[in-house]
Amino acid sequence: MQTARECLEELLEEAESIPPRQRLEWLVEFGDELPAPNGEAGELQRLPECQSPVSWAARVDGDRYLLAVTAPPSALVVRGFAGLVVPVLDTRPVDEVRDLPADLVDRLNLSGTVSELRLNGLRALWSKVRLPVTVG
């Protein structure tokens, strides 16, 4: 089984092989894979950095990391980003999540395709969902 880092690196390689305009469409398609929260990750919190009503919950349970994110279907980009990261991170060993790059959003290379405001929302989401394992 691949580690979380290996999964993300594979996704980043795939993204790099796609022209920038199509890369946005590629990301949006992940929104269909965003699982509904099951309550195991804890109480959802609003992400104020996003203009869309995005909520997240994350916690460590023993050596496992639990994650949930909600984003409305109208929030295509952030929902796609959440659909990309939640399946990769949820239920992973904490050490794997701790080892993930802080610059994931920038490595997707969406600048010029997505507004800086939207990119800041994605960076905030990535920072928040990594927080429970990077502080402890």
Q: What is the pLDDT along the chain (136 residues), one digit of tens a residue?
A: 899 999 999 999 999 999 988 999 999 999 999 999 989 999 999 999 999 999 999 999 999 999 999 999 999 999 999 999 999 999 999 999 988 999 999 999 998 899 999 999 999 999 999 877 665 5
Beta bridge partners of 114: 111
> Domain coordinates of the chain in residue numbers?
4-134
81 CB contacts (<8 Å, ≥6 apart)?
A: 27, 30, 105, 122, 125, 126
Task: Give me the pLDDT at residue 14, please.
Answer: 96
pTM of the prediction?
Answer: 0.93
CA distance 79 to 5: 21
CATH class of the 4-134 domain in this structure: alpha beta
Closest to 35 (Cα-Cα) out of 73, 70, 65, 81: 70
Task: Give me the pLDDT at residue 134, please.
Answer: 65
Burial 19-28 (b: 16+ CB within 10 A, else e): eeeebbebbb
Closest to 36 (Cα-Cα) out of 10, 70, 67, 63: 70
CA distance 124 to 85: 13
Cα→Cα distances 21→26, 27, 46, Å: 9, 10, 29
CA distance 98 to 133: 6
